[in-house]
Structure 1
Amino acid sequence: MIKKLTVVITFLMTLIVFGQKKNDKDAVVDVAEKLRLAMIDPDKTTLQSLILPELTYGHSGGHIDDATEFVEKLVSKKSDFLTIDITNQNISIVGNTAIVRHHFYATTADLGKAPGDVTLDILLVWVKTGKNWKLLARQAVKAEKKK
């Protein structure tokens, strides 16, 4: 009887642990997509709901935005993304932190300038606060040229 109970408890714990990771990964995929869409069609309230106040947002050119600057640049169209395509996305979850890496290709029209193209590799750090995932950090680097 004790052996059967141990097997059942072990099985249930395994389901809970692996089921939670799957649900968390799905939630991170969803919130990353919400961020992508919010960067194309920026709304201050939506953007603020996706980030932590401590956000650090690193650009490939070296400039680092805080949460306020990140939101204001998008809302004011100083950073204007016409399109954003994300490929090769990988997600690792460690405790309440999700590490997301992806390739980022965008068409921009910053401050109404003629459209330009941006190709980057991105690192996002999401933190689970309660039931929600919030962006804590982002770093962009110029995509490595294929040989």
Structure 2
Amino acid sequence: MKKLPVLIFACLLFTVSAFAQTKDEKDVAAAVEFMRKAMVDGDRANLTKLAADDLSYGHSSGKIQDKKEFVEAIASGASDFVTIDLTDQTIKVAGNTAIVRHKLSAQTNDGGKPGSTVLGIMLVFQKQKGAWKLLARQAYKLPVQ
């Protein structure tokens, strides 16, 4: 009977540690939130700061943009995100690389035309000079439910 409290404590400790984020995972999650906010705000400086120089930004349509094209599309309002909600996010860090997956739901206003989209997203971040930079992004269409 004396071993039961120890067993329960060990199970709780294992459960909590299994779901705890590492410092790098927390930093990557913060970079994702920084990106989400910069995209909604159309903040050229923050988008430029976040994106790696070698960015490859893929859309669900198959269109690929480099850093300059990505920043300009968002900052100019050509690609205008009114809201972005991210759900079902996972983060996997391997050395100086992090893979983020989530579901993106957004309200848009591209070219003054209101719209909405729901996409699957995979992001690749790379730690460069101590900061997590967006190196690659690929959006994909989700099955209709």
| Range class of TM-score, shorter chain | 0.7 to 0.9
How many residue pairs match? The answer is 125
Q: Post-superposition, which runs of at least 4 consecutive aligned residues in structure 1 deviate over 2 A?
A: none
Aligned letter for 2:65? D
The separation in 1 between residues aligned to 2:37 and 2:111, in whole angstroms, is 19
Aligned letter for 2:81? F
Q: How does 1:24-103 map to 2 (within 5 A)?
A: 24-103=24-103
Scaled by the length of structure 2, the TM-score of the pair is 0.84
Q: Deviations over 1:64-96 (max 9, x none)?
A: 011000000001110000000000000001110
The separation in 1 between residues aligned to 2:43 and 2:89, in whole angstroms, is 24
Tell me, what secondary structure is at the counterpart of 1:109?
A: strand
Query: Aligned residue for 1:125?
Result: 124
The separation in 1 between residues aligned to 2:115 and 2:42, in whole angstroms, is 18
Aligned letter for 1:117? S
Question: How much does 1:43 deviate?
Answer: 1.6
Q: Deviations over 1:31-71 (max 9, x none)?
A: 10000000000121111100101100000011001100000
The separation in 2 between residues aligned to 1:95 and 1:106, in whole angstroms, is 31
What is the root-mean-square deviation in Å for CA atoms of aligned residues?
1.0
Scaled by the length of structure 1, the TM-score of the pair is 0.83
Question: How much does 1:130 deviate?
Answer: 2.2
2:144 maps to 1:145: yes
Which segments of 5 or more consecutive residues in structure 1 lack a partner in the other structure?
1-20
The separation in 1 between residues aligned to 2:86 and 2:56, in whole angstroms, is 20
The separation in 2 between residues aligned to 1:121 and 1:97, in whole angstroms, is 20
Question: How much does 1:143 deviate?
Answer: 1.3
Tell me, what secondary structure is at the counterpart of 1:145?
A: coil
